[in-house]
């Protein structure tokens, strides 16, 4: 695992913060083959895909002829995939101990974010070493790979997402990973509305994971705007945290913000709880190159006795 770390002790008066760049380097079925000129070339299992990547404004490394041999190309103008050979509606992949399905979606994603593998391993390890029963809340949980990593480690998990197709896909991944009997509660709901109800019910969680979008809508038309909605959600999350929280993990994509924003939010959220905050970027290392591709920002708090050596 590529890990670049500096410790910035002056960032927060109450606790230290680690600033990190992390990239998984032991992925078996995924590879970033090339990037540049607004696109990326990737291998997902047996298929090579080319799709837009706005941050990749540098020159490509591979010749254009290699890109043109991709099995499927997402055309930005039409918003559709051009398949150069038949690709099934879904195919199985296995990474970081999880088995799941990838798909070509109409919004250019595959349902798999391989840079998140560093989190799947960390979630599983942190829960396994807790030495006590852990109840996890996974918000904006999409295809449930973080949910399944937590369940693999023995946690009881509540999955929440506002998309019915995502929930269906998540249940398929649960079956593919052999976790059909795992204690997972599946919730189709708006994140803020759900957590607000959990506050009223007195439900408590030892760990919270969230991957909020920039903009979204709940199943009943609720509007989510990152900068307006995240503070509201975190205020509610504070009320559902147990007296002995294990960790809180926040991911963010496609937002114009530093990971220090997430670190500051976590510092507010975890006031009164000793522990360490880590913030930084998830990246993908390009095959055969020194180039790394930004994948998103994250922030995580972990309890004091596990703060070092688990990421």
User: Given this model, what pLDDT does residue 14 score?
Assistant: 54
**In a domain? residue 107:** no
**In a domain? residue 154:** yes
What domain range includes position 22?
Answer: 2-27+114-306
Whether pLDDT at 31 is above 80: yes
- CB hemisphere CA count around 49 (13 angstroms): 24
- The count of domains in the chain is 1
Query: What does the pLDDT look like over 170-196, one tens digit per residue?
Result: 999 999 999 999 999 999 999 999 999
**In a domain? residue 90:** no
Report the predicted TM-score, pTM, of the whole model to 2 decimal places: 0.92
Tell me what the pLDDT averaged over the chain comes to: 92
Averaged pLDDT for residues 18-45: 95
User: Given this model, what pLDDT does residue 311 score?
Assistant: 38
**In a domain? residue 242:** yes
Distance CA 244, CA 311 (A): 20
**In a domain? residue 80:** no
Whether pLDDT at 16 is above 80: no
**In a domain? residue 202:** yes
Q: Are strands 47-52 and 72-75 parallel, antiparallel or unpaired?
A: parallel
The backbone region for 94, taken as left when phi is positive above 0, alpha when psi lies in -120 to 50, beta otherwise, is beta
Provide the token pair at 127.
């829960």
Provide the token pair at 231.
């503070």
User: Strand pairing partners for 51?
Assistant: 40
Q: What percent of the chain has pLDDT over 90?
A: 82
**In a domain? residue 83:** no
Query: What does the pLDDT look like over 90-101, one tens digit per residue?
Result: 999 999 999 999
Whether pLDDT at 265 is above 70: yes
The backbone region for 96, taken as left when phi is positive above 0, alpha when psi lies in -120 to 50, beta otherwise, is left
Three-state DSSP class for 175?
helix
Distance CA 11, CA 17 (A): 7
| pLDDT band per the 50, 70, 90 thresholds, residue 6 | very low
CATH of the domain at 224: 3.40.50.150
Q: Quick one: how far is CA 65 from the chain centroid?
A: 33
Q: Are strands 17-23 and 275-285 parallel, antiparallel or unpaired?
A: parallel
CB 92 within 8 A of CB 99: yes
* Longest Cα–Cα distance in the chain: 59
Averaged pLDDT for residues 28-54: 97
CB atoms within 10 A of CB 288: 11
Q: Are strands 91-95 and 98-102 parallel, antiparallel or unpaired?
A: antiparallel
Nearest to 42 by CA among 20, 57, 27, 22: 27
**In a domain? residue 230:** yes
User: Given this model, what pLDDT does residue 310 score?
Assistant: 39
Provide the token pair at 242.
């147990």
């Amino acid at each position: 695992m590529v890990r670049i770390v500096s410790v910035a002790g002056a960032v927060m008066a109450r606790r230290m913060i680690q600033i990190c760049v992390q990239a998984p380097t032991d992925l078996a079925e995924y590879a970033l083959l090339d990037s540049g000129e607004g696109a990326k070339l990737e291998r997902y299992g047996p298929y090579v895909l080319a799709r837009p990547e706005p941050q990749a404004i540098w020159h490509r490394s591979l010749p254009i002829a290699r890109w043109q041999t991709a099995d499927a190309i997402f055309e930005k103008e039409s918003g559709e995939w051009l398949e150069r050979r038949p690709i099934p509606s879904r195919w199985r992949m296995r990474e970081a101990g999880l088995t799941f399905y990838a798909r070509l979606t109409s919004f250019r994603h595959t349902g798999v974010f391989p840079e998140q593998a560093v989190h799947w391993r960390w979630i599983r390890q942190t829960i396994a070493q807790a030495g006590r029963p852990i109840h996890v809340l996974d918000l904006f949980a999409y295809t449930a790979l973080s949910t399944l990593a937590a369940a693999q480690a023995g946690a009881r998990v509540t999955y929440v997402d506002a998309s019915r197709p995502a929930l269906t896909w998540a249940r398929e991944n649960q079956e593919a990973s052999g976790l059909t009997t795992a204690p997972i509660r599946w919730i189709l709901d708006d994140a803020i509305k759900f957590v607000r109800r959990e506050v009223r019910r007195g439900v408590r969680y030892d760990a919270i994971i969230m991957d909020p979008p920039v903009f979204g809508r709940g199943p009943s038309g609720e509007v989510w705007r990152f900068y307006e909605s995240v503070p509201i959600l975190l205020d509610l999350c504070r009320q559902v945290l147990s007296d002995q929280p294990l960790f809180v993990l926040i991911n963010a994509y496609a937002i114009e913000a530093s990971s220090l924003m997430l670190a500051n939010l976590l510092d507010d959220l975890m006031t009164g709880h000793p522990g360490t905050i880590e913030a930084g970027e998830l990246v993908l290392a390009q095959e055969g190159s020194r180039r790394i591709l930004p994948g998103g920002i994250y922030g995580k708090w972990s309890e004091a006795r596990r703060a070092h050596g688990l990421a």
